[in-house]
Amino acid sequence: MRAPAPKSPIPQNLRRLRLVAGLKQAQLAELADVTDATISRIERGRFAPSQDLLRRLAHAVRATEADLVARNMTAKKPTLRAAEARLLASVRGWDEPAIDDLVRALQLIIAASLRSVRPARKPSGSPGRASR
């Protein structure tokens, strides 16, 4: 009789790291370029991520791949950059709806700035010749 295969630590570690990062499953899914259902299946232990997906998940929750596969992992807070700490301090004490509004506003600003930096299309026709 064979011993049962050890249970993967990935579901528990991913959920814990996602929550520490302050992400909802849908947000993590967007960052890792997968569906919400995929994140849910991984966290329930119903889907084993590929090495590539494991790398993207680790990056999204600001951890390493080793953190996701580690057994008996101790909880550690991610280190904030100075700019992130200033941002967090400025909204500390705000209620959830106000923070959600701020996040939506920032997402709109970021989307608009990304659209404005895309290269302009070149006009059709020969370069250097004016149309008559």
pLDDT in tens, 70-128: 987 655 566 777 778 788 888 888 999 999 999 999 999 988 888 876 665 655 555 55
Specify the amino acid at residue 49. P
Contact in structure between 9 and 69 (CB atoms under 8 Å): yes
Rounded CA separation 24/29 (Å): 9
The CATH architecture that domain 8-72 belongs to is Orthogonal Bundle (1.10)
56: left (phi over 0), alpha (psi -120 to 50) or beta: alpha
In this model, does residue 129 exceed pLDDT 80? no
Rounded CA separation 56/88 (Å): 24
pLDDT in tens, 22-73: 899 999 999 999 999 999 999 999 999 999 999 999 999 999 999 999 987 6
